[in-house]
Amino acid sequence: MTSGDAATVAHLRGRMMLGRRTEVLQVECVVRGYISGSGLKEYRQTGEICGIALPANLRESDRLPEPIFTPAWKAPAGQHDENITLARVAELVGGEALAARLRDASLALYAHGAAVCERAGIILADTKFEFGLTPSGELLLIDEVMTPDSSRFWDAEAYAPGRAQASFDKQFVRDWLEAQPWGKTAPGPELPADVVEGTRARYLEAFERITGASFGRYLTEDVIA
Amino acid sequence: MALADAFLRAGKVRDLYAVGADRLLLVASDRLSAFDVVLPTPITDKGRVLTGLSRFWFAGTSHIIANPCSPRIPRRCPRK
């Protein structure tokens, strides 16, 4: 595609972000306010997540006493990311001071995000941040931030610990997929139009509830207000 | 310049392009991954939702940590 093509310009509208080339730190900076996913799995085996001891008898999806920093090593393609301790983060990024900064920034970002989501009736169960270093050594938050793809969003109204929670954005498509004769390996099935539209509506609802802004206005005026 | 010439790599959901020597253009597609499989059918506007949310959070968290939209790094980004 070429940059001057009208169809290309229309396609790109609203989906571009300019970033900076940085040295990407090879650590997924995960913060969990609730216990789920790989955190739950590790907790059930060891009573800890990433070396952080947790109270006994936590149920799936329980709120944690306080949000915790549970980093993961970014495994090469084809391998699963691996939960690691803060000491291991320090080894990977080259220093305890930087590791502590990653933890503190991640926890502060989560606290901000969780508070905004809570006002929108959405639980930010956990989320993953990425950081990079500029050539001059400045630490930057990069990549995507607190999106449905990097986070678990739950509907606060439907929240019930003791079981898995429905994903605010993806549950619609997951429920449909579960009902298909499909082995969950590539290629996946084509989605019917009503499943596409239902899933789209959930994504737009997440955008509008969290930002308090109109999605239509974001598309036409390029503002989030 | 043709965008294709600056193409760096495609992720599961986003495509990356080089802009000059030190910048990147991230383009969020409408691809959706479920059960770790990228589905063949795109979800209309999903990439725009993801981009808009990231921009919203970048603008609201630059007091916590700098990002490519931070005031210190001039950029056309939304601010509330």
Q: What is the pLDDT of residue B80?
A: 42
Q: Residue A31: which pLDDT band, with cuts at 50, 70 and 90?
A: very high
What is the Cα–Cα distance from A15 to B30, expressed in whole angstroms?
A: 9
Residue with tokens 């959930």: A202
DSSP string, A202-222: HHHHHHHHHH-S-HHHHHHH-
Q: Pinpoint the alpha helices (H) of chain A.
A: 6-12, 37-46, 86-93, 96-119, 171-178, 193-211, 215-221
Which residue type is seen at A60? Answer: E
Q: Among B65, B75, B76, B80, which would you mutate to test the A interface (most chain A Cβ atoms within 10 Å of its Cβ)?
A: B65
Largest CA distance in chain A: 59
> Is the predicted pLDDT of residue A197 greater than 80, yes or no?
yes
Average pLDDT for residues A13-20, to the nearest whole number?
90
Contact A225 B73 (CB under 8 A): no
Burial pattern A42-70, b for ≥16 Cβ within 10 A else e, equals: bbeeeeebbeeebeeebebbbebeebbbb
pLDDT digits (tens, 9 = 90+) for B57-73: 999 999 999 998 765 44
Q: Indicate the residue of A17, A170, A185 with minimum beta-carbon distance to B54.
A: A17
Here the ipTM equals 0.92
SS3 A109: helix
> Is the predicted pLDDT of residue A2 greater than 60, yes or no?
no
Q: Which of residues 114-173 of A touch B (CB under 8 A)?
A: 116, 131, 135, 138-149, 170, 173
Q: What is the pLDDT of residue B73?
A: 44
pLDDT digits (tens, 9 = 90+) for A79-101: 778 999 999 999 999 999 999 99
Q: What is the pLDDT of residue A66?
A: 98
What is the Cα–Cα distance from B26 to A18, expressed in whole angstroms?
A: 6
- What distance in Å separates residue B76's CA from the closest CA in chain A? 9
- Provide the percentage of residues in chain B whose pLDDT is more than 70: 81
> Is the predicted pLDDT of residue A4 greater than 70, yes or no?
no
Q: Residue A156: which pLDDT band, with cuts at 50, 70 and 90?
A: very high
DSSP string, B6-69: GEEEE-SSEEEEEETTTEEEEEE-S--EETTEE-SS--TTHHHHHHHHHHHHHHHHTTTS--TT
Q: What is the pLDDT of residue B75?
A: 45
Q: Indicate the residue of B41, B64, B65 with minimum beta-carbon distance to A191.
A: B41
What pTM value is reported for the model? 0.91
> Is the predicted pLDDT of residue A225 greater than 90, yes or no?
no
- What distance in Å separates residue A91's CA from the closest CA in chain B? 22
What is the Cα–Cα distance from B6 to B4, expressed in whole angstroms?
A: 5
Q: What is the pLDDT of residue A87?
A: 97
Distances (CA, A) of A108 to A34, A101, B46: 16, 10, 27
